[in-house]
Amino acid sequence: MKNFEIKENDSELKKRLSKIEYDVTQNSATEAPFTSEYCSSDEKGLYVDIVTGEPLFLSTQKFDSGCGWPSFSKPIKDDFIECSTDTKYNMKRTEVRSKIGDSHLGHVFDDGPIEMGGLRYCINGASLRFIPFEDLEKEGYEEYIELFNK
């Protein structure tokens, strides 16, 4: 089982993350649409916060919304994320951030598939790291394996 309580300091993050990963997670930037390797990926596994490794989304909740960013119908648990009102750019949106790492992930909208709950978590791929299902135990995420059987 992994410990997600530790967030590296800013200089360590700048060394480890790419420029876009740092800008998205730490400065609330947005990656260009259709640039993330996760946009069209349908591999079975877990999406975690690239900063802390906090588990965020299951591949079973991912869908192709056509918006240009990975989309999910819900997080693994609501208390793994923080949502707040974002009024930048003369828009009113709901920003999504990781709970422990406080990483900017993206935004949530109410235009997702009805059969999946009606929400669309539009997430920057640059804020995520993907862990393939077969590597969950090796990477310390064994407690999430059972969620794929539901």
Q: Which residues are catalytic?
A: 122
Tell me the C-alpha distance between 79 and 82, whole Å: 7
Asked whether residue 123 carries a pLDDT value surpassing 90, the answer given is yes
Q: How far is CA 5 from the centre of its chain?
A: 17
Lowest-confidence segment of 1-15, 94-108, 115-129 by average pLDDT:
1-15
Domain boundaries, the chain: 10-149
Determine whether 129 is exposed, middle or buried from the number of CB atoms within 10 Å of its CB (0-12, 13-18, 19+): middle
pTM metric for this prediction: 0.93
Asked whether residue 129 carries a pLDDT value surpassing 70, the answer given is yes
* Average pLDDT taken over every residue of the chain: 93
The pLDDT of 86-106, averaged and rounded, is 89
Summarised one tens digit per residue, pLDDT across range 26-41 is 999 999 999 999 998 9
Would you say domain 10-149 falls under CATH 2.170.150.20? yes
